[in-house]
Structure 1
């Protein structure tokens, strides 16, 4: 190594020392790294050139200075990370604390443990913030529906939120809030059924009470031990008063002939409605209205009503998927202006809220 290069390296070291003495750790490290770069450049030019003992000592000194500066920089990043954590700037805290970990000495166990604890808190905070941003739209809509009394819609929203929070621990505040909200909504839907059950029992209509009870049990949260025990007591009371023939469950209220006639009438009306044209020789003159429209709508309504009746029966028997399929058919057939259409749609929404219970 020629004397000129040696002087350049020494100048960088002296500059680094001066900055280190006044606590300018970052600038000091830059100067030391420049000195190391000069050493590396010389070695690349002539890798076999011998180094004097003085030069070897200087290189060791520089590496020692860098290690010392890194320790101070680690403390600086720790302070920045701690401040960012206090301000809930999670990503900044993570970046600063990871840098502190990288710069710290491997044998500084106490320092590394402190950084690790803060880093874990920062990562948890960042995770919660990300999950919260995903959950908030669903939870907010669920809360709005709950406040307005639309508990079925609220359940669907809270269930979506529960899916988003699936990776969180059971005791996490988000999970607890969502589960409590689901339980509250289900109880709100169950309470009217309890009143109907009580009224039916007092009237001696235990078969009807049994149907209401099954609907209530469908809505019950699996973790709601209070309501579960209460409904089981009601079930025992009702079954003691049920007659033997009332235990038999069928999926049809109407006879097969009724279904056959309804389907046949609908198909005939559909054929007539579809084949009608304004040039039909049997159509009244000067009219563009389909004269078979009323008959077609009436046949659709009758068939839709049968599907809804069957769906209600299946719902009472806790056959959820079959009930939903029949409600869908009823909705497809019933006119939108019909009261039965809205009843079927409402019941289907309630049942759908029970299929994907988290």
Structure 2
């Protein structure tokens, strides 16, 4: 079995570290090669029976390669209308690591010297997070919670704004305006109605101008600090990220065993059920519904029950002990 990547980026960490875990667990050779002709957000698994699996980690609902070229095609942002034939969902995306130094030791010298891999190599070497950009800090899978904690219904929503003027496409400008409005008003309505909450917006020029009342403390904006805050919360608020598809935030909430309230999910997520794993707002801009949704989770401490379900879901679909194994299990079942 071989894994082929265009380069090593943060979008590949979920796959790469899961593959490392799988190889350790099954005493397989760690066989990773780089091919810069592959689409940047993709990867290919070559099985020993000559079958091929393409992995599409793009934010966009568009395919970055032709599914007909492969035995199986797994896509992160998979719409329901495209869920057919040899196409399967990759579910949510998160950024984590597992024995990062050991991973570095598996690579050949020319892979370590590859300029396209440089950023993630530096991050993997920076074990104590002293030098690298902590806004893209990867969670160490060995530190994931193994049980749900009760923090008296604390709500968390740390987010950022995207400047509409930084994009030339009119449709994208409008999408960013709607996204920014939701994020600002969601923070304000939660802050106004729930004292036991941690909400705010990443401080930059745009947020300082249009939402100065919501700026996060500059000392708390790193991923490392965010994970501390997430660990001490119970209910995570999530909304669509780029291209109106789920970002990393919702997957992080699940791995930490938190209840989730989210804007509508427009992509396929396997065995992820409304009212069981998440509460759904009726529309992208329905921030006014948040207080009622939050109260419904606080009554009877239902957030604990949902948090437990999400911890179990994340172990089955996101944790490195099962992520790579799940992909292979699907291909095996469809081959038999």
**Common fold, TM-score beyond 0.5?**
no
Greater gyration radius = 1
Q: Which has the higher helix share?
A: 1
Greater RCO, 1 or 2 (C-alpha within 8 Å, sep 6+): 2
For the aligned pair, the TM-score class normalised by the smaller chain equals under 0.3
Q: Which has the higher strand share?
A: 2
Alignment TM-score, normalising by the size of structure 1: 0.22
